Amino acid sequence: MTKPLTGKIALVAGATRGAGRGIAVELGAAGATVYVTGRSTRSQRSEMNRAETIEETAALVDAAGGRGIAVKVDHLVPEQVRALVERIEREQGALHILVNDIWGATRMEWNKTVWESDLTYGLHQLRLAIDTHAITSHFAIPLLLKQKGGLVVEVTDGTAEYNATNYRVSFFYDLAKAAVGRMGFSLARELKPHGATAVLLTPGWLRSEAMLDVYGVTESNWQDAIKRQPHFAITETPHFVGRAVAALAQDADVARWNGQSLSSGQLAQVYGFTDLDGSRPDAWRYLVEVQDAGKPADVTGYR
């Protein structure tokens, strides 16, 4: 059977692990050719110093039924991004889907004011979150606009509604995520006259490789972490947000979402996809109505 995204070319910028890897794999499962970029390769790790590599992600895309192409790129370096886009145009002649999922921060300074924060690292966080997305969009969007119907996905943490009224982690983290949210808004206005769509998308509480490590579990026994943190019951795999992107990419009426802030849980209710376990965790609604409200952990009606 022909897969719905066969013939489509995607760039998932920041696909080494986490949401980026899940998005790349699910685009591949729908038949897309996916360029997966990042700084961690089999021969060299990024500053995050983790074992996941872009080659592994590309292999997972292949195994899912697509074609994965790993390219080492530091998205803070304009010439590397320019060369990447020139390669995509040379090899494929088109770009249909751009996912800006670049982050790569090595630590969080929880509840740190601007004067308490490590200034050097805080400014570096902003570069990782803002400069990388802007540089990638600058070079990739002209190729995406060569034909109508292109999709740009800005991946962040938190819906625009939630982030507008809640302090997120620390001064620099809060600013970084607010800026990415505004990018989705701005790109939507700039892309609309050209027949393309931009959205802001957040996963819920993500069971990324790093998050599983924090709780000392693996994907096979992740529920053991609920004993330590009961609200961990609402978490989701990276495949869930990946399926959200794949659903958007297949939607002939995707322009209806232009400029909107979306979540994986919200889109699951619209498109009908599920997480790997068949559930539809709605983490951001749960966060407001249960966790932030101080209620006991109970995912009934939320997944």
Continuous H helices in 118-271: 119-126, 132-144, 160-165, 171-191, 209-214, 238-250, 264-271
Which pLDDT does position 1 carry in this prediction? 67
The topology (CATH level 3) of 9-291 is Rossmann fold (3.40.50)
The answer, yes or no, to whether residue 2 has pLDDT greater than 80, is no
Tens-place pLDDT, residues 264-300: 999 999 999 999 999 999 999 999 999 999 999 999 9
With beta carbons less than 8 A apart as the criterion, state whether 265 and 228 touch: no
Tens-place pLDDT, residues 20-41: 999 999 999 999 999 999 998 8
Average pLDDT value for the chain: 96
Residue 193's CB is within 10 A of a number of other CB atoms, namely: 8
Name the E strands within the chain. Answer: 9-13, 33-38, 67-72, 97-100, 151-155, 197-202, 261-263
CA angle 261, 29, 266 (to 5 degrees): 25
Helix/strand/coil percent split, the chain, to 5: 50, 10, 40
Which pLDDT does position 163 carry in this prediction? 95
Lowest average pLDDT, out of 37-46, 138-147, 187-196, goes to 37-46
What is the average pLDDT across 242-263?
Answer: 98
Put simply, whether the predicted model's pTM sits higher than 0.85 gets the answer yes
What is the average pLDDT across 6-23?
Answer: 97
Tens-place pLDDT, residues 87-119: 999 999 999 999 999 998 878 888 889 999 999
With beta carbons less than 8 A apart as the criterion, state whether 98 and 11 touch: yes
Which pLDDT does position 104 carry in this prediction? 82
Percent of the chain with pLDDT over 90: 92
